[in-house]
Amino acid sequence: MDRAIGERCVGHADDGDAPAARGTTAPGKVIDLSRAGPGNFVAKRGFVTELVWFFVEACFINNKLIPVSFVRVALLRAFGARIGRNCRMPHPIRVKASWNLEVGDNCWFGVDAWIYN
């Protein structure tokens, strides 16, 4: 498993002659998150909004007892997410900051997806 991931990671140490090792990225590749610096998250909202979002996300967005997509999509949009048409989120997901989320049309999110946006 590690080998399969390492072969696709941009900037992975085992890439040797791969374009990622030279500092360029190829389209469709996975980015090696160990190269990301700390402090790159910008909330863009106040403390109260973040606190309310924490509870909404825990109670509704990441709730296995809500099997319908429209509840999650509506709540994400209410907190500023820009979600396209025909998007489905029938499974519980985790979203760090809904106001930073932008999703195109016809997307489907899988079981227990974590979105750090």
Question: Does the pLDDT at position 15 exceed 70?
Answer: no
CB neighbourhood size of 9 (10 A): 20
Among the ranges given (29-33, 34-38, 60-64), the one the predictor scored with the smallest mean pLDDT: 34-38
Q: Which amino acid is at 106?
A: N
Q: Quick one: pLDDT at residue 59?
A: 92
* Whole-number pLDDT of residue 29: 73
CA distance 73 to 85: 10
Average pLDDT for the chain: 77
Which percentage of the chain shows pLDDT scores above 90? 38
For the whole prediction, is pTM greater than 0.75?
Answer: no
